[in-house]
Amino acid sequence: MTQFTAHDAKMMALAIRLAEKGQYTTSPNPNVGCVITDSQGHIIGQGWHKKAGTAHAEIHALAEAGEQANGATAYVTLEPCSHHGRTGPCAQALLNAGIKRVVAAMVDPNPLVAGNGLKKLNAAGVEVSSGLLENEAKRLNRGFIKRMTTGQPWVTVKLASSLDGKTALHNGLSQWITGPLARQDVQRHRARSCAILSGSGTVLADNPSLTVRHSELGFAMEDIAIDELRQPSRVLLDGRNQMHPDLHLFSLSSPIVLINSQLNSAEFPSHVEQYQAKSKGAQLDLQDVMQHLGQRGFNSVWVEAGAKLAGALLQNKLIDELILYQAPKLLGDKGRDLFAVDELTQMQQAFALQWSDVRHVGPDLKLTAYFT
């Protein structure tokens, strides 16, 4: 097993921080950072991947290092690519620059790479190793990893509830259960996602936009121009063909994928693309839906839906992560529930989760859990 030094770990931690800068702009590509050091351990080049179709992290770092890259060490959060895509292979660029050592946090799960980048470097005499801060690197690209290995995106379901687990009053009123800081946090999650998914019930009841309000993100976007920030695609599930072009969200220009059991004959705007999913009557095959979203290059899907769709995703085991914003309010036993699922009769049937994070967001709690 490769023995890494404290200096190696420090440089990789910096590369991961650089990679994080791309989380609002890089999809469907992964977030990648690179740091290059000379033989004395001094940083001579840094870079991060900013947007699909543009230079990768290694290319930015090599450009900054210039001729000093000859004989240097490159720390990269993801194995350098070895294939020609919209840009040239980074493994070859590192060889051309004279890099003598490459440390990767993880092997690229993309079948087009899958270890070939490191093999190419090693065959050319470069010292290669991987696995340094691997868990941190995997967390940063969990959606990309899942799509590459399963064909489906990472699915996060967001819910907001009162302390007694209600998402709305009996009459449907839900604005606002949580405070402004929780809603701002939701905007950040939306902005990092490839797609925002909702169902016809929620859309017809609330007539939402399902877009990111970039002015409300609440922090300075260093190194990113506001016009580089993308709007995630909006995915609408409409098994009964209830949606119509007059809904507010169709008037907004960001892409929409309208998924139904039979194509809707209404005249939607040109930015709306329909997909006829497998179904049983009006009941959409959610596995087919997620497979289709993966084929579209969506790494991560952020779900904002009512109890029925949330429950269907839960029962189909399609939720990777649950984020619940819980307000210190009580709405009473007549309020609406979080999930609509079939009745459970044994405690062993309960859906098990594992806590990932618990924190205050203003007066509210943000509870994050993964399904085991």
d(CA 21, CA 60): 14
- Assess whether 58 carries a catalytic annotation: yes
d(CA 58, CA 179): 41
Q: Please state, in angstroms and as integers, the Cα–Cα distance from residue 35 to each residue in 13, 14, 142, following that order.
A: 10, 7, 22
Structure tokens at 304: 């904002």
- Do the annotations mark residue 190 as ligand-binding? yes
- Do the annotations mark residue 258 as ligand-binding? no
- Do the annotations mark residue 239 as ligand-binding? no
d(CA 107, CA 109): 6
- Do the annotations mark residue 81 as ligand-binding? yes
- Do the annotations mark residue 149 as ligand-binding? no
Beta strands 101-104 and 127-130, pairing class: parallel
CB 192 within 8 A of CB 21: no
Structure tokens at 356: 């990932």
- Do the annotations mark residue 234 as ligand-binding? no
d(CA 190, CA 195): 8
- Do the annotations mark residue 365 as ligand-binding? no
Among the listed residues 58, 134, 216, 222, the single catalytic one is 58
- Do the annotations mark residue 77 as ligand-binding? no
d(CA 311, CA 74): 46
- Do the annotations mark residue 222 as ligand-binding? no
The identity of residue 119, as a single letter, is K
- Do the annotations mark residue 2 as ligand-binding? no
In the 8-state DSSP scheme, what is residue 48? E
- Do the annotations mark residue 213 as ligand-binding? yes
- Do the annotations mark residue 34 as ligand-binding? no
Annotated binding site for substrate: 174, 190, 206, 210, 213, 304
Looking at the annotation, which residues are catalytic? 58
Q: What residue numbers does the annotated binding site cover? A: 56, 81, 90, 160, 174, 176, 190, 202, 206, 210, 213, 304, 306-312
Sequence ranges of the binding site for NADP(+)? 160, 176, 202, 306-312
Binding residue ranges for Zn(2+): 56, 81, 90
